[in-house]
A and B are shown apart, each in its own frame.
Chain A
């Protein structure tokens, strides 16, 4: 699979790069936990982080004029372990200069088709907007939060926990209902691409230029498994800084470590080209390709044996 990926990008003249796993700062995503480690170089002592994804480093390369790049690397997320999660996992991440979200979605489909060829037959790729697929499975409008309608649905779907857990938090409601009621149905023997995420779930994606309530973000699924996430990348340094500050506030409330990467902001200020980027979890892709029920089946040494 790794060879096929490298061949795919070589044919498209996308440069393979390597960036550090150890970083002085890290993402601000409110829901990601870092591994930290100590860099000891007496008399200096510095806390470093293991990357949760190579996104920031690769964006700095883009700002420095690298052109289209891809990377296959390890990423680390603390406090994640389960049937689909290992705290150390392998990511494929790539950035295409000049691509829009639509171009990126075409390339994702090409890549998956290429990787599954002669291995596993998939039906034609499916494309849905977040709002459509959410309405289809829950009858609710994902873009407009109507507390009483959401509660009524939770009661009817026999998920009363949603009401106590989510309260007035729209983002949490979306996470809950999407993961419980929508995701399991996505991409039955097919690649399913969900795009047009609600603006409140934009992270590092650009807000759609025609509709400010959605964001140019895509997620892909096969057999109900989330495989990857992509954006039409935000290049506006001020907007990025604003989101960072916002997310840091949430992180502080959640008591998560706080380490802002000012070097990314600096790179964005220097000017990052318009581009679209995507990350795919390769362990999960291998699970699908081999029909394995657990991520442990595709890892030589899962965390318990590492």
Chain B
């Protein structure tokens, strides 16, 4: 893998730091007029998701990380691993709970999502920004309620719980924003 100098640290660049794959978030060149030049770098650990701040001497370099985002289709859960497939090549990958993380709330069979691979092993899974899921459990709505005001919890087919307007019923399919976990709208058949 190539190595990258601090001058090449751009947001999104994937590098290895302390043996973990990381993504550069922000890079600021700091140089006292008469002093040593530093780069203050905000960097996200792709394993933990945590953002940390580090300082390098300008010109120092880090090893690049073999990290790629691949669009895949979610296949099934075998109890221990979740299985994904690259639609073009039918290549399959299995990801453990740690890699799937929060995405588990939004993954339905056949859905497409983005799997981040590190050295060809799933590191994390990002669901589509919007997913459509059926409601399996919620309190019955009261006739005459409109969308304004209030709301109630509803359990979705994946097990996730979101707040929905009072008029939404069991069996209906709703659109959810996976970044915020919020209800967007009902989906008409």
Real complex partners, A and B?
A: yes
Residues of A within 8 A of B (CB): 29, 31, 79-85, 159, 161-162, 165, 171-172, 174-176, 178-180, 183, 201, 203, 219, 226, 229
Identify the interface centre among B35, B38, B40, B57: most chain A CB within 10 Å of its CB.
B35
A176-B28 contact in complex given A201-B34, A226-B33, A229-B34, C-beta closer than 8 Å: no
Q: Lowest 5 CB-CB distances: which A-B pairs, in order?
A: A82-B29, A175-B35, A161-B55, A175-B36, A179-B30
Q: B54 contacts the other chain (Cβ, under 8 Å)?
A: yes
Give complex CA distance A180, B54 in Å: 11
Binary contact track B14-35/A, C-beta < 8 Å → 1, others 0: 0000000000000011111111
CB-CB < 8 A to B54: which residues of A?
161
A179-B29 contact in complex given A79-B37, A165-B55, C-beta closer than 8 Å: no
Do residues B36 and A80 form an inter-chain contact, with CB atoms below 8 A? no
CB-CB < 8 A to A162: which residues of B?
55
Given contacts A81-B7, A162-B55, A226-B33, 12 further A-B contacts (CB under 8 A): A31-B36, A79-B37, A80-B29, A82-B31, A85-B31, A165-B55, A165-B56, A171-B35, A175-B38, A179-B35, A180-B40, A226-B32
Task: Count residues on chain B whose CB falls below 8 Å from chain A CBs.
Answer: 19
Which of B7, B28, B34, B58 lies in contact with A83, CB distance below 8 A?
Answer: B28
A175-B32 contact in complex given A31-B37, A80-B37, C-beta closer than 8 Å: yes
CB-CB < 8 A to A176: which residues of B?
36, 38, 55
Do residues A172 and B36 form an inter-chain contact, with CB atoms below 8 A? yes
Do residues A179 and B28 form an inter-chain contact, with CB atoms below 8 A? no
CB-CB < 8 A to A180: which residues of B?
30, 38, 40, 55
Which of B7, B31, B33, B57 lies in contact with A165, CB distance below 8 A?
Answer: B57
| 24 cross-chain CB contacts under 8 A | A29-B34, A31-B37, A79-B37, A79-B59, A80-B29, A80-B31, A81-B29, A82-B29, A84-B29, A85-B31, A161-B54, A161-B55, A165-B57, A172-B36, A175-B32, A175-B35, A175-B36, A175-B38, A176-B55, A179-B38, A180-B38, A180-B40, A219-B33, A229-B34
A161-B29 contact in complex given A176-B36, A229-B34, C-beta closer than 8 Å: no
CB-CB < 8 A to B59: which residues of A?
79
CB closest residue in chain B, given A184: B30
CB-CB < 8 A to B56: which residues of A?
161, 165
Residues of B within 8 A of A (CB): 7, 28-38, 40, 54-59
CB-CB < 8 A to A81: which residues of B?
7, 29
CB closest residue in chain A, given B39: A82
Give complex CA distance A85, B54 in Å: 20
CB closest residue in chain A, given B30: A179
CB-CB < 8 A to B57: which residues of A?
165
Give complex CA distance A31, B57 in Å: 12
Min CB distance, A187 to chain B, in Å?
15
Give complex CA distance A201, B37 in Å: 15
CB-CB < 8 A to B32: which residues of A?
175, 178-179, 183, 226
Give complex CA distance A179, B40 in Å: 10
Give complex CA distance A180, B38 in Å: 10
CB closest residue in chain A, given B60: A165
Give complex CA distance A171, B34 in Å: 11
A82-B34 contact in complex given A161-B54, A162-B55, A165-B57, C-beta closer than 8 Å: no
Min CB distance, B32 to chain A, in Å?
5
Give complex CA distance A79, B31 in Å: 11
Min CB distance, A270 to chain B, in Å?
26
CB-CB < 8 A to B40: which residues of A?
180
Give complex CA distance A172, B36 in Å: 7
